[in-house]
Structure 1
Amino acid sequence: MMEWSEIILRLGVATLAGGAIGLNRDLHGKPVGLRTLALVSLATAMVVVLVDPVGPVGFSDAGSRVIQGILTGIGFLGAGVIFHAPDHFRIRGLTSAACTWLTACVGILCGAGQWRIVIVALLFTTAVISIGGPLERALHRLLGGRDLPGHSRDDDPAQSSDAGPHQPGK
């Protein structure tokens, strides 16, 4: 049987890691936030600890099936934050959906006690969600790509597709 300290460590780190990923989404006004992703990570860690309490020695067949089920189910949760804005011809929420799925994976790793992988994954996640958007916009300007939805070449908010009189209710 797993010791209390190990259970608290695995579930606590999973909750904090998921909350940290969710904080970024929340600060950017996205549909998932700190609480949602903290709970996703905690829940997945709980299930992994339940089915494979021995931890980092590998997963049993039952543990493998549980992880497959988690990742499939989380895909449906992630799909719930994706929506199509037909008047803007764009899809929104893909990064939040990806963060939801990634948070479930972090929870699985915490449940398995794979701390090195958790640390590296969180470092890469922080880098991608912190600098990915500004880097993407800068590369679009530098390489002459299409304007990103909602951003003009001059970053003039008055020129964004959200500001015109064509919007319903304006």
Structure 2
Amino acid sequence: MLSNQEILIRMLVSLLVGLIIGYERSWNQKPAGVRTYSLVCIGSTLFMIISAYGLPGTSSHVIGFRLDPGRIAAQIVTGIGFLGAGVIWKDRGTIRGLTTAANLWVSAGLGMAIGAGMYFLTLVSVICIFLALYSSPILCRLGLLKYPPDEGGEN
């Protein structure tokens, strides 16, 4: 079982990561922002902590069946897929919100990593996320990638 201090650290790190990614998306006026990303990351962390540490006897057989902490983690991915589908819109032949949906999905992964205590993986992932988010505009400015002027290459 985790100590209260470790739970507090994981939840605060999760809040911070969600705020950072959500702030970037809010700053760029995208459909989901600070609150959404924070809640996705915090919720995923919460479910991972419950999954890995909150169920008694998760590594043993209880009353004829085996409890599997990985099942909750798998359901996080499913639930976020449903949430992400809600931000994807087709409008006049263009699809919008794919980057937001992918970002929500990866934010859930960050929350899961934090919940599992994988802080270094979280840090490396956040850096990779920002590199991915800012690579398109940079490549466009360099003339290596072209997007229609009204889309700017981002969703």
TM-score (norm 1): 0.76
- Counterpart residue number, 2:73: 67
State the alpha-carbon separation in 1 of the partners of residues 130 and 139 from structure 2: 15
**Equivalent runs, 1:97-136 vs 2, <5 Å:** 97-129=101-133, 131-136=134-139
1:81 matches 2:83: no
**Equivalent runs, 1:3-18 vs 2, <5 Å:** 3-18=3-18
State the alpha-carbon separation in 2 of the partners of residues 69 and 133 from structure 1: 31
State the alpha-carbon separation in 1 of the partners of residues 95 and 140 from structure 2: 17
Is the 8 Å Cα contact of residues 51 and 70 (structure 2) preserved in structure 1? no
Could you give the per-residue CA deviations for residues 4-33 of structure 1, whole angstroms, max 9, x where no partner exists? 110011111111111211111111111100
Q: Which amino acid aligns with 2:22?
A: G
Could you give the per-residue CA deviations for residues 47-87 of structure 1, whole angstroms, max 9, x where no partner exists? 11011029xxxx9662211111110110110111110111x
Identity percentage over the alignment?
Answer: 35
Larger CA Rg, structure 1 vs 2:
1
Structure 2 unaligned runs (5+)? 60-66
Deviation at 1:142, TM superposition (A): 3.8
State the alpha-carbon separation in 1 of the partners of residues 144 and 82 from structure 2: 36
- Counterpart residue number, 1:47: 47
Structure 1 unaligned runs (5+)? 153-170
> What is the total number of aligned residue pairs between the two structures?
142
Q: How large is the RMSD of aligned CA atoms in angstroms?
A: 2.1
State the alpha-carbon separation in 2 of the partners of residues 73 and 43 from structure 1: 11
- Counterpart residue number, 2:64: none
Is the 8 Å Cα contact of residues 14 and 45 (structure 1) preserved in structure 2? yes
TM-score (norm 2): 0.83
